[in-house]
Structure 1
Amino acid sequence: MTDIPTMTSPALSRLGGLRHAFFSRDGGVSQGIYAGLNGGVGSDDDPAHVAENRRRMAQTLGVAPERFLTLYQVHSPDVVVAEAPWPTAERPKADGIVTRTPGLAIGVTAADCGPILFADGEARVIGAAHAGWKGALTGVLEATVAAMEGLGAARGRIVAAIGPLIRQPSYEVGDEFVTRFTATNSDYARFFSPAERDGHAMFDLGGFIRARLERAGVGTIDDTGIDTYPDERFYSYRRTTHRQEPDYGRHVHGIVLE
């Protein structure tokens, strides 16, 4: 096993019979603006560095690199069931992935968006979802839970762990963004607080994700509480944009049934 620092969810860890990890930038070989454990195959990083980083993550999860599956993420509510490895170049376009196949690690990529790992320890069904604001609003979390149910999970038994993501103190949005949410449900106004600039608000993505999981009937919800924007241990799309850097690295967070 490699010696890569990871973060884990106490609630998921208590289930037994599975391994999971929320990775930071620590322990990788990428250089420059990608320095660290960049797993983004869609980045302009050296492909050999990305492959080595992903190999190290796979090894940390206890699987071969070809058995660590990720998606071509498109900020959708779409979810796929993984039963066997697929080539990286042929990964499905979706934002949620579930499986009941032991030894098949599944993961999602993030650099400010919310990575959520799921497990029903009794049914031995796991899932992972990539929830940025659009995916969370359009139902990727609920779709992941439903797909797990299709494999035998019970939503009341499911443990969901929310990983590192951009938090409300760092997530300033315009009024049109607020309107998009409140037009869907007026109650969503509670996830916004006033910003210093007129016509702007601060969005609580983590709180919104938790609320959607609660409404979906998920039994246990854990949260790392980490804000990727100010924490230099993590890649951040928004921080990169503010610094006018040409690109950014991506984390891959994963889970596997033993």
Structure 2
Amino acid sequence: MIGQQIDFDDGAHFAFTDRWGGVSTSPYGELNLGGAVGDEPPLVRDNRRLAAGALGLDPADVVWMHQVHGNGVAAVTERQADGAAPTVDALVTGRSGLALAVLTADCVPVLLADPAAGVTAAAHAGRPGLAAGVVPAAVAAMIELGADPARIVGAIGPSVCGRCYEVPAPLRDEIAALEPDTWSQTSWGTPALDLPAGVRAQLARLGVSVHEMSHICTMESSDHFSYRREQRTGRLASYVWLDGTHA
């Protein structure tokens, strides 16, 4: 269920789910946390409750997004009402006890925290979002809330790797012109993009250190959902939060 959880002494937490331990059935089996992929809504709610419980979180303290592959950022200060997920690809909060969640099934989940400032962010960096600058936008929103890039720690979660993300050569050239570290080649010798490397490069230029860079390729791992491998499938979730109680 929780494929990986990273807990820091200063009260910051990063967590990444795998596909197991939920109640959804094929093709969304088992722990589908995405509410817009065709799964039954009651099953998604149960999965979100199970995942939150495994993390020691109240499901009401988890904030979700309606992701659209852009660079929009929403600042969050309160619990989220049902059906009120903002249409953005990054969330930021200065409120301890609120967990920010990002959904993926090959795109790059990016989690960021500055515990000293009490600020966290979560970003969904697919190819369009990375090119549009969603990661720098998330860091800028954190800075507006008092975060310092030198204190921010980041985690890059499971996503499709540069050996598997095949794209047409003109597209590789277009994205690599914006972020050179994305240039890659598949294991079978065709043009590819390495989105996790691109995210890491963007964070490094902003002065943000990456504490965790996942070695898991979602397309290669049967323990993770992959849109490129399965098309109709579920969504993983990545969470970031700081210790505290929502009031």
The answer to whether the superposition gives a TM-score over 0.5 is yes
Aligned amino acid, residue 230 of structure 1: E
Superposed, which structure 2 residues align to 1:91-106 within 5 Å? 91-106=85-100
CA shift for structure 1 position 192: 2.1
Aligned amino acid, residue 178 of structure 1: R
Aligned amino acid, residue 217 of structure 2: D
Aligned amino acid, residue 251 of structure 1: L
CA shift for structure 1 position 59: 1.8
Once residues 32 and 171 of structure 1 are traced to their aligned partners in structure 2, the CA distance between those partners, rounded to angstroms, is 24
CA shift for structure 1 position 25: 0.8
Aligned amino acid, residue 192 of structure 1: S
Percentage of matched positions with identical amino acids? 36
Once residues 190 and 93 of structure 1 are traced to their aligned partners in structure 2, the CA distance between those partners, rounded to angstroms, is 26
Q: Does 1:78 align with 2:72?
A: yes
The residue aligned with 1:254 is 239
Could you list the runs of 5+ residues in structure 2 that have no partner in the other structure? none
Paired residue secondary structure (2:163) = helix
Which of 178, 193, 205 is matched with 2:185 structurally? 193
Superposed, which structure 2 residues align to 1:17-28 within 5 Å? 17-28=11-22
Aligned residues: 243
Q: Which has the higher helix share?
A: 1
Could you list the runs of 5+ residues in structure 1 that have no partner in the other structure? 242-246
CA deviation digits over 1:95-142, x for unaligned, max 9?
110112121111100000000111112112111111011111111110
The residue aligned with 2:146 is 152
Q: Does 1:62 align with 2:52?
A: no
The residue aligned with 2:83 is 89
Which of 219, 223, 230 is matched with 2:213 structurally? 223
**Distance change (3 Å), C-alpha of 1:189 and 1:233:** closer
Paired residue secondary structure (1:172) = coil
CA shift for structure 1 position 227: 0.2
Q: Give TM-score scaled by structure 2 length.
A: 0.92
Bigger shift: 172-181 or 89-98? Answer: 172-181
Superposed, which structure 2 residues align to 1:1-258 within 5 Å? 4-9=1-6, 13-184=7-178, 188=180, 191-193=183-185, 196=188, 200-241=190-231, 247-258=232-243
**Distance change (3 Å), C-alpha of 1:152 and 1:191:** same
Once residues 196 and 230 of structure 1 are traced to their aligned partners in structure 2, the CA distance between those partners, rounded to angstroms, is 14
CA shift for structure 1 position 189: 7.0
Bigger shift: 57-66 or 205-214? Answer: 57-66
Q: Kindly indicate whether the alpha-carbon contact (under 8 Å) linking 1:178 and 1:189 is maintained by their aligned counterparts in 2.
A: no
CA shift for structure 1 position 19: 2.9
Q: Give TM-score scaled by structure 1 length.
A: 0.88
Once residues 23 and 194 of structure 1 are traced to their aligned partners in structure 2, the CA distance between those partners, rounded to angstroms, is 26
